[in-house]
Structure 1
Amino acid sequence: MLDTHSKTDLLQGAIVVGDDIRLEGEGRMTHVNPATGREQADFPQASARDVDDAVVAARAAQPVWAGLPAARRQEILRNLSRLMVEQADEFATINALETGTPYAGFRSMIVNRFPAWFDYYAGWIEKLHGDTIDLDPGRAFLFTTKEPVGVVAKILTWNGPLNNIYMAVAPALAAGCAVVIKPPELAPFGAIRFGKLCREAGFPAGTVSVLPGGAATGDALTRHPGIDKISFTGGPATARIIGANTAQTITPLVLELGGKSAHIVFPDADLDSVVAQQTAFCRLAGQVCTSPTRLLVHDEIYDETVARVKAAYEAITVGDPFDPNVIMGPVISEGARDRILGMIDRALADGATLATGGGRLGGDLADGFFVPPTLLTNAAHDSEISQEEVFGPVVTISRFSTAEEAIAIANDSQFGLAGFVHTRDINKALWAASKLDAGTIGINGGASPASYAAPFGGVRNSGYGREGGREGIEEFLRVKTINVALS
């Protein structure tokens, strides 16, 4: 059994939702370390009253925050970015304990990505302005202003709660909004620590609140009439529940949901790059919404690609997230592990072939929630494993003969978050990108999301709205038209 117990003191501590507001709570929830299968900490579940207190505090704080000079708001956002980097070791440790993500890779993300997103959106603060509309010069002065939408609820996902924060909370704060954050019950501690850091950075009391808890907490938050917009990252099933709740208050949503991304590999592809892209998502145990989990390979290079991906997956070191030699940790929970293994078993029963992986890992990893990198061949395109999001380190690989066939297979999905193409022919690559029905396309190793400066989001069951770029901050702005009659 792995031993990470000595680090768990980082997970405990008082939870603050506003300035001096303490959680009343509705009992406590227990967290299990996915690498060991052992309980390691508990935390309070925010009550409906706690939600109301946080929203009231946010509504009072929002005009104070938005009314600060632009330079001061920029300074506070950059203070927060600096503090995150200074405490990167602590945040990476917390994340490894609560999600099982390898420490080293996540620490690098905190140091490099967090400042990039916060600094980028801090730069937008002084550039947010409306337009003049010159329809009737001399008789009317018509112009627009851009204002913050108000109080934003951000519901985080467990596979990357701090990633969610820099992608959605940073632009909401830059837009002048106050934010109430509901962390995932499977990984609450990083967001809780982030909330405390916001106070150190200089945000007015109530501007950022963190409300840990389960479904009841989320239900109270998404039904609350004091919330002006909700940003949710997670699965379609939960999104439908949130949509039903917000129908009563007509609260707008930003939804970043699941994916079942296709990766089309043409005969002239650089297979080293293909293999690198197929192994990169294993760093989060395949728990990545944009994962290229449907690998579509041309007949001419199919056998070679299978052999190379198989060898790469078998070379991935799985184990203790604090071991610097480990590439992949566990999946998030026992339920997730059993669900993933069940999908693999059903795929095999439906006629798929196991090239590598599958099954539980034993030895020192037996008590944790580990699933090895798994490659399946011969899975039918309409089967569960090809159509449903696995959210684990599982990839199907299939043949195609023509480009049109590849596009048809790729678009045969309820999801549309990302797509990937490998070919040295740029004309073919751009043609394929134009035909793929997805929000972001990566070509020849291009990642998704592409950059803090580029919009990211999906279509169909992958959600709507965008994170990143100018579009990301405009999600949290509303336009007001002012029409002045001139005498």
Structure 2
Amino acid sequence: MIGDQALSQGSGGTFSHVNTATGQFQMDIPLAGEIEVDAAVKAARAAFPAWRDMKPGRRRQILDRFADLVEQNMGRFMKMAVVENGIPMSTMLHGMGPRITSWTRYYAGWADKIEGLVTGTPPGDHFEYTVPEPCGVIGHIITWNAPMLSLAMKIPPSLAAGNTVVIKPAEFTPFSSQLFVELALEAGVPPGVVNVLPGGVPAGAALVCHPGVDKISFTGGPDGARAIMRSAADTLKPLVFELGGKSANVVFADVDIASTAAYCAAFGLSNSGQGCALPTRLVIHQDIYEPFIEALQATMEQLPYGDPLNENVIVGPMVNASARQRVQDMIDAARASKVGRFLTGGVVEGGQGNFIAPTLIAEADPYCPIAQKEVFGPVLCAFRFRSEDEAVALANATEYGLAAYVQTNDLNISQRMVRRLQAGTVFVNQATPAFHAASPFGGMGISGFGREGGKAGLEEFIRIKGVGVSIRPD
């Protein structure tokens, strides 16, 4: 959609969308190419001055109405999520759905609260202050594993700050972005302020390279980010990256084994492990390792998986056949290399959908590929530790640094671990990434840079202008 006009065809060709749970064809999606990207950026640039100069109170009213519409249409969004990429309905009902609404409403409230500062009032003949300004046109390349959450984390703060946007969802998750933009228009966001162009890598590359785009926000993987950085170098375009993780979950000996094992299984394997901040590396104290693994395996083998429309299902399908094959290849290579004990799973399930059984590798080599690379599939690797120092070393033994987890009833241990773990966020005692709109979220290392959430997430889409004023004496 460019402005308020939906595209029936695109220069990028078409994509045949398939229901990942059933293998059934759904529809052909027109894909954007360089022509459509150029038109969308021009529409965003044309709409920028009026949106930037709109009174902040009026902009807030529009975004509040937008949040109302998002909340009212959450049922439609949740069903779209299931048919787009197989996110289980249980995940939408109990996690992502409410967060999408809260993020949209939180940033609507920021629209009339963006303030500058007086930075210097020296005695004499001048004073200095700052003016916060929108960056301009923001190109958003959103993730396929949770496209609606990605939209809510990126678009409302961009709009609240006075920017206009061009959104590039993945070709196989186009539906929710289209509805998101339609609701923005219905709320009163002027045409051209929000544009959406489903497309593949060429569309993303065109957006990054376009001289009319002032900043890029990207959620994806390190390889894609490296390509974007190389392209953005020509225009020195600033970037925000959230690039996934390989998060450790450190389990100390004082936990309740049954409840903690249940949490580790259900959360670590939610959405088939297709989550950037999921704790897929379990670092378990030697004293409870065997009973914990036993409880973990039993829980994993009982996790409901299958039809994502079933509200009891925890583990749904992989996003598509190529993702399923990629994960299966990693599992097969790990098994052939004898990197650990395969206790359950590791096989492709029958039928037409893209399912892989939840997989547990105990006594895993912490430095083998499947323990170091982001699998983005239903695979957990478990290691032993004996001392706190060893736990920290194992947890930090990865290039990623998005999130980390600690399970212990000892407050002193938990706070020491929070300081020592190399991650953008640390979650303690069965806490999960709530993605609360007021909390900053982002990583370090190859998990990226920049933050989404809270005031920090708003400031990613603001640039500060300094002003000095000379005061002439009478």
Per the normalisation by structure 1, the TM-score is 0.93
Task: Kindly provide the amino acid, as one letter, of the partner of residue 328 in structure 2.
Answer: L
Match of 1:356 among 321, 344, 350: 344
Residue 287 (str. 1) matches residue 274 (str. 2): yes
Structure 1 outlier segments of 4+, above 6 Å? none
Could you say if the C-alpha distance between residues 57 and 19 of structure 1 is closer, same or farther in structure 2, counting changes exceeding 3 Å?
Answer: same
Q: 2:129 matched to which residue of 1?
A: 143
Residue 90 (str. 1) matches residue 104 (str. 2): no
Q: 1:480 matched to which residue of 2?
A: 465
In structure 2, runs of 5+ residues without a counterpart are: none
Q: How far has the Cα of 1:104 moved from its partner?
A: 4.1
| Whole-angstrom distance in 2 between the partners of 1:359 and 1:340 | 10
| Whole-angstrom distance in 2 between the partners of 1:110 and 1:402 | 36
Q: How far has the Cα of 1:450 moved from its partner?
A: 4.7
Q: Deviations over 1:230-261 (max 9, x none)?
A: 00000000111111111111110000002000
Match of 2:33 among 24, 47, 55: 47
Task: Kindly provide the amino acid, as one letter, of the partner of residue 232 in structure 1.
Answer: F
Match of 2:199 among 190, 198, 213: 213
* Residues 7, 30 of structure 2: 8 Å contact kept: no
Match of 1:304 among 291, 297, 300: 291
Residue 453 (str. 1) matches residue 435 (str. 2): no
Q: How far has the Cα of 1:194 moved from its partner?
A: 1.3
* Residues 356, 375 of structure 1: 8 Å contact kept: yes
Residue 429 (str. 1) matches residue 417 (str. 2): no
Q: How far has the Cα of 1:110 moved from its partner?
A: 5.9
* Residues 419, 440 of structure 1: 8 Å contact kept: yes
Residue 180 (str. 1) matches residue 198 (str. 2): no
Q: Relative to structure 2, which stretch is displaced further, 317-326 or 258-267?
A: 317-326
Q: 2:310 matched to which residue of 1?
A: 323
Q: 1:117 matched to which residue of 2?
A: 103
| Whole-angstrom distance in 2 between the partners of 1:93 and 1:170 | 22
Q: How far has the Cα of 1:85 moved from its partner?
A: 1.9
| Whole-angstrom distance in 2 between the partners of 1:107 and 1:245 | 39
Residue 344 (str. 1) matches residue 364 (str. 2): no
Q: 1:76 matched to which residue of 2?
A: 62
- 1:194-273 alignment runs, 5 A limit: 194-271=180-257, 272-273=259-260
| Whole-angstrom distance in 1 between the partners of 2:176 and 2:213 | 23
Q: Relative to structure 2, which stretch is displaced further, 130-139 or 208-217?
A: 130-139
Q: How far has the Cα of 1:315 moved from its partner?
A: 1.1
Q: How far has the Cα of 1:282 moved from its partner?
A: 2.5
Could you say if the C-alpha distance between residues 427 and 331 of structure 1 is closer, same or farther in structure 2, counting changes exceeding 3 Å?
Answer: same
Q: How far has the Cα of 1:23 moved from its partner?
A: 6.2
Residue 32 (str. 1) matches residue 45 (str. 2): no
Q: Deviations over 1:59-91 (max 9, x none)?
A: 111221122222221121121121122222221
Q: How far has the Cα of 1:38 moved from its partner?
A: 2.5
* Residues 264, 296 of structure 2: 8 Å contact kept: no
Q: How far has the Cα of 1:270 moved from its partner?
A: 3.0
| Whole-angstrom distance in 2 between the partners of 1:104 and 1:406 | 33
| Whole-angstrom distance in 2 between the partners of 1:20 and 1:50 | 12
Per the normalisation by structure 2, the TM-score is 0.96
* Residues 81, 114 of structure 1: 8 Å contact kept: no
Q: How far has the Cα of 1:116 moved from its partner?
A: 1.1
Q: 1:13 matched to which residue of 2?
A: none
Secondary structure (helix, strand or coil) at the match of 2:273 reads: coil
Task: Kindly provide the amino acid, as one letter, of the partner of residue 199 in structure 1.
Answer: L
Task: Kindly provide the amino acid, as one letter, of the partner of residue 287 in structure 1.
Answer: Q
Secondary structure (helix, strand or coil) at the match of 1:479 reads: strand
Match of 1:375 among 335, 360, 372: 360
Could you say if the C-alpha distance between residues 463 and 355 of structure 1 is closer, same or farther in structure 2, counting changes exceeding 3 Å?
Answer: same
Task: Kindly provide the amino acid, as one letter, of the partner of residue 220 in structure 1.
Answer: A
Q: Relative to structure 2, which stretch is displaced further, 408-417 or 114-123?
A: 114-123
| Whole-angstrom distance in 1 between the partners of 2:61 and 2:269 | 37
Task: Kindly provide the amino acid, as one letter, of the partner of residue 427 in structure 1.
Answer: N
Taking only the aligned residue pairs, the percentage that are identical comes to 43
Number of paired residues? Answer: 469
